[in-house]
Amino acid sequence: MPDQTAASRSARFADVFSLMSRSNPDILTIAHRGLWTAAPENSLTSIRDAAALNVEIVEIDTQATADGKLVVIHDATLDRTSTGTGVVSACDLATVRNARLRAGGGGQTAAVTDERIPTLEEALEEARGRIFVNIDTKYPRDLPLVIATIKRLEMQDQIIIKTDIEPASGHFPVIDADWFGSIPHMPMFRVRPGQFAEDLKLIEPLRAPMVEVKFSDIADLAAGRAELERQNIRLWINTLDVSHNLDFNDSRALVDPQGVWGTLAEVGTGAVQTDTIAPFKQWLAGHEKRNS
C-alpha cells in the first residue's frame, strides 16, 4: 500500500483533468516505466513505489499478445526485460507470463526477480486510487483494446492516452474516435523551429489538456507560453537521456539540476518525465519553496 502522504496527495484531485489543469500550479512528476531504479521497469512494484514517493503520474507501455491480451512491456521482444525470448505479439499470454522480470532496466546480466510481466488490467488495478496513469500504446492497432480495458475497469478519470500527431497536417483522426473527450488525450509532436505557438493554434480542435513535445531550441518553448496559457494546456517535457531534447537530460540534471529542470520550469514546463525520480523530487521541493 502507498504511504498516507501519497494517498492524501492523490485525493487532492477528483480526476486527471483537474490534475492537468493549469489552475494546479504544481510541476507534475512522471515516472518513466514506473520507479524502476529499485524494481523491474513496468512492473507492479515499480507502480507501487512511484505512488509511495508522491509521483503524480506513472507512464507504462502496453501491447497485445498473439491471443489478444494486453501486457505491460516496452520492447517488441521479451529478451531485455525478462527471462523470456521472442516477439511479444507472436507469443500467447501463457508464454509471456511464464517469463520472470529482470531487475531495473533489464539486460542479460540483471538479476532475475520473482515478478511476472503484468497484464494491463493488473497494472491499472495496482494504480487505482493511488496514482494517475499515462498509457503508451506501442502499436496503434492495439488502441481499441486499450480503450475497451479502460472503460471496462471504469478508470477513464485516472488515465491519459497519448498519440503522435502532425500539427500542420490539418487532420486529426483521433477526434472521430468514440472515446475522444471521455478519456484525456495528450498529443505528441516535434516542435517546428520558430513555430511552437502556431503549432499550438493548429491543434486547438483537439482541446488538449497537455502536450508532450520534443524541441530543438529552448526559446521555442518560451515563445509558446502565452498560447499554452490561452488554451489551458500543460506542457510535458521528457528529460530522459533517450529523448534527445538537446542536453536537457537526466544525466546533466544530476550535475546541474537548475540548468536543466530549472530552465524548463522558467519557460513554462508543467510536467517532467524522468528516470531520476528522487533527485528530481528533491530539486522540485526546493523550487516550490523558493517560489512559495
Residues annotated catalytic, as ranges: 32, 74
> Measured between alpha carbons, how far is 215 from 244 in angstroms, rounded to an integer?
9
Helix (H, G, I), strand (E, B) or coil at 84: coil
In whole angstroms, what is the distance from residue 37 CA to residue 7 CA? Answer: 22
Half-sphere exposure in the Cβ direction for 42 (13 Å, CA)? 27
Angle value at C-alpha 243, between 168 and 101, nearest 5 degrees? 125
CB 83 within 8 A of CB 103: no
CB 132 within 8 A of CB 57: yes
Give the integer Cα–Cα distance in Å for 283 and 260: 11
Distance of alpha carbon 31 from alpha carbon 34, whole angstroms: 5
Spatial CB neighbours of 47, under 8 Å, sequence gap ≥ 6? 34, 35, 58, 60, 123, 126, 127, 130, 131
Spell out where the chain has E strands.
28-32, 57-64, 70-71, 132-137, 159-164, 185-190, 210-214, 234-238, 269-274
Per the CB < 8 A criterion, the answer to whether 289 and 281 are in contact is: no
Handedness of CA 274, 277, 279, 283 (dihedral sign): positive
